[in-house]
Structure 1
Amino acid sequence: MKKLSCFILLIFFLLVGGSHTLANSNQMIIINKNTNQLAYYNQGKLEKTFKVATGRQNSYTPEGKFKIVNKIKNRPYYKQNIPGGHPSNPLGDRWLGINARGTYGTTYAIHGNNNPKSIGTYASAGCIRMYNDEIRWLFDRVAVNTPVIITTSKQSLHQIALANGYAFESKVNKLSVSKSSPQPTNASVSVSASVSSGSNTLYKFMVHDGKKWSTIRDFSSTNKVNWQPKSAGNYKLKVQVKNKNSKRKFEDERVLNYTVYQPAKANSLAVNKVSPQPSNTTINLTAQSNNNTNNQFKFSFFDGKKWVDIQKYSSNNKATWKPTKAGNYQVRVQVKNKHSKKSFDSERIINYTVFNEAKINTLSFNHATPQPINKDITITAQSNDNSNNRFRFLVFDGQKWVTIQDFSTKRTVSWKPAKAGAYQIKVQGKHRNSKKAFDHEKVMTYNVFHEATLSDISLNPVSPQPTDTNITITAQSNDNSNNHFKFLIFDGQKWVTIQDFSSKRSTSWKPLNAGDYQIKVQVKHKHSKKNFDHEQIISYTVYDPAKIVAFNMDRESPQFINNEIHFTVNSHDPSNHLYRFSIFDGSSWDVVQDYSPNNNYRWVPISEGTYTIKSEVKHKNSTHPFDDSEEIIFTIE
């Protein structure tokens, strides 16, 4: 009878106490026994995760895909006759029954507990325990027939949900285009979308032309579409996204604005004066396009080498051009819509010829005047139109004009003057179509000279000489009146200019230091562009006069006859000096040792008396009798 009563009570709770909320097709519960976590998914996203307790042994809590089949508040715990909702009831006060292992929500469930410390552990007989406040929150939201996935997995909750077909809600992250707005009509634009969340996302692309929305492509798994607008206008591009299993029209959408313009087209380019025209003529240019109001115009011309702007882009469809040089030109107008990112949308080009009479601009030489005789000189003419002009070259030698090259297309000629003189060089130019003898000419003067050469260098006095000697250096050349002279000295370390180029042919030099010098004379014609035309170098020796530093003897005066006395002379440069010794006996001088490198003398007096001993010294290059001398008075007893 007691068992029958329990059964009747269970049926009562199932039919009366249970909740029969219709299942939400986008709800799912996942329980991972590996981590003891419960995840609740709703409307395509994870709403909340909870800690749970599962079976004390792995087999206690069934694994598989189940459903919530009933919802019961305050279910009694029949084994111990504990009323529903009682604090000691191990089921808590909420029961979400699942149809596991052939049961129908009566054996296995997600429910509350009376032992909060067990949550997060393996503690139950097979059910899934939750904290009481958390099961109440879940109970109020989960619907009957909601899928329940119980597993033991190392995968994330998200991966488990995907593997079990949960339809995550798609959210648009970005709607982008391959070509930024604005773009011209017929431009191929790739429209692409990305989502920040969702799975199995479908994309729908639409465009609004200012009047209505049109579908570019209906929902598909491809997240991009090509769009090629045919008409100008301000458009709106839209993407809508949803999960492929979603029953909603869309889950999210994104819209961006996009401007499309009509590319400009140049219809005509007209001139007020037809080609050809002379240079410096003012020519008015006028362009017409498909939409002068929204288009901009740029005018330029091509001179055979490069394009030159006449008028940069502006709304003005007219420009003025005044060509200053002859040539076969191309005149161009380029047009583009004010929104265009291109350098131009369309262009129109016309040919235009401008001509000039010949004019000689320059007459130049590869070697500037003046130059020496027999120099190969290239004469070059430049004109206003070298390709269409003809040139003639003439030379006037002071008596007559001589043609060295008649009219031809050649702008250069070679000339090698054999005589010195002041010449006139003339070039005449004319256009190839000119009927004149010539259109224009230019004349220049050109001087030709003989290069300077040295014939002699004389020195007074001649080498060698002592320091502080005034030396005059004199040069002779082939044309003293037109040549300039430069004098330099090399002291063994560097060249020093003692007189720069001038018309003076002589200079004075007073060397202060001894040494072996080199004297250089450079000469050049007064018109010469060279550093010098010719040079000669001669050697010159300068020495320091010898000077006695000390005159010594090894015995002091007086001395006895037949005693040897040793005299020594010291000078500042003994290796280059010569020494002489003389003795005066009271009546005459007697040279006892003539000039030699020997700086000492040994004297053995044989007669008594008062003597004068003299030492003389001179440089080995000296032409003087002596450079310095010193005497000693000596008494012999």
Structure 2
Amino acid sequence: MNEITVVFNLESPQEKEKNILISIGDRPEENLLFKFIIGCDGTWETLREFGFEETVEWMPKEEGKYIIMVQAKRKDSTKPFDYVTRLDYIIGKVEEKIISNVNLDKQLLDLGDKLKVSVDVKKMPVMYRYWIRENDNWELAKDYSADNTLIWSVKSTGKQEVLVECKTLDSKNKYDDFEKVQFEVKSVKKLEITNFKCLTEEMLVGSELVFQVDAAYQDNRMILYKFIKIYSDGRIKCLQDYSTKRIVEYIEKKDGDYRLLCMARDMYSQNEYDDRAVINYTVKPYREVCIQSFTSDLSSPQISSTNVTLKTIVKGGRELLYRYIIDGNEGEDSGYIKNDTYLWKTKKPGEYKIIVWVKDSSSKENYEASSTMNFTIDELNREPAKIQDIILDKDNKLVKNDTVNIKVIAHGGTELRYSFHVFKDGAEVEKIDYGSCCWVNFTPEEGGNYEIEARVKDKYSKRNYDSHYVINLEVYDFMPARIDHILLPTKEYYVVGDNISYSIITLNTKKILMRYVMYINGHQVEDTGYVKHKKYALTPKCSGVYSFQIYAKNVDSTKDFDCRRDIKIIVHEALPVTNTRLQFDRTKININETLTVTAASEGGKEVKYEFYLMERGDWCLVQRYSRKNYYSFIPFSTGNYKILVLSKSEHKRSAYEDYAMMEFNVE
């Protein structure tokens, strides 16, 4: 900017209708084409198009603040211009100085700050007008008024100016005096989204999806985030409008491919967004169906008429269906059933191929996973050894270096022998050969998924085993936190001022950290971060819907959380108004005598009452809602009367919460 020196034969300010000669002084290079442009109040006029002439005459006919702009370019240049200079020029007569000083509360501001301008003058009364120059354009900030102050929100960065014009009340000039003061708005570090990720490990229909965006920006700046979900057909849905919350959660109800757009901007930015990022994700209807184990309670071979139970252990799916196909001399097909076990009643000897198909009930495929085993049925009459049960002294979820005792309950045979095989990720890592001991202690030294196969056979059996059973163990480097119970107060109706506390019951308490996040009417008001205490208490100071997100994680966990539970309660302003009743100030009611009826009730807060009176069969409102709990009147005729009172708390918007009615006779 201002790369060319421009000189005037007459210095600013000048009166209108004077010939002002604008000339080119120093220039960055020779043989340039020059264009002269005049601007005032947002309107631009070209004095001369591009040419080699270096001077131009200008005769302004109106007073005002002008911008003289000179553009220059090389003869063969394809750009609109290569150099430019802008200068201010004032046209108008200044007879005497009115302004003594223009004060700014600060010369250097941050984007979004408020600039406070105050003007000192030498005489009164005068009127003030304020202009702000942003991006080389003058913008009227405040038209003529008697106010000698201006408060202006700065909206762009860079060097700027404030122009104050003053004139007396009877002046016919556009202004009698003016003063310009410069200020600067600091540029802020460019906002940049550095990471956009999904915190949910498995994206499934019906489960909560949690996305988090990280951004780099200048300290002490307030950043707003907006999240828009984009469907595969191009439809969009705003999940969160601009907010400081950088984590968005929602539950997807339909599987498919989606995109999530995050737009981030500085709170004071004039842009729709300062940076944006998109993440593509696929929501599956359920976890992938995977057969972990397909076994039989009896090992092959077996004799005819033996009942063999087939068992399938499967992970994934929502509502699994199983189909058992037995191919051999006496074939069977169970069709798809919901049971993961199938009783095969053997009838004929021979070689059999047993197949299991598994799929989710919603799948249109023949099957999603399958497994096969071979089985022999012969005619020898023998009483096989059979495993009846496997007993663990602990849960099947362990921490490494923790020992579990595994005991086999079996019957049959003449003298049983037991063997144990340990598999990790499908590979055998340890085994105990056949012996008379029916139990074993297993201590995993690494985390992972383990299968322990217990085998049983008769001492004199020539088979590898007569019966076997597989159990699955999940071994962790540490035990993930799990919230077993949340002990809630016995109250069902909460009011402002109640003491509300929650006790959290978890396993392995010393290693568990808790985090409590509280929302009131959808607005986050507290986030404790991770703390050790397992109790959360509060005393609500306002009514509304209180939502609590309770997170738990092991101190060794690298996840944001291992377990989460949500609680929602409604806190009322007060107990409901109940037991409203009426009482007269006398027992005998006579004509032409003043009667006062008083209302009382229980519960509520700042209870109001409204009275209705029925006289001669017509109801009439006699006293509108107020804190006044009594009504006095004189019955002027005998007969039957009724008095009705409605009651409600001050804050209630309903017509009433409770009422009472009394009937009486006037003699």
- TM-score, normalised to structure 1, is 0.27
The higher-RCO structure (CA 8 Å, 6+ apart) is 1
The structure where strand makes up a greater share of residues is 2
Larger Rg: 1
- TM-score, normalised to structure 2, is 0.26
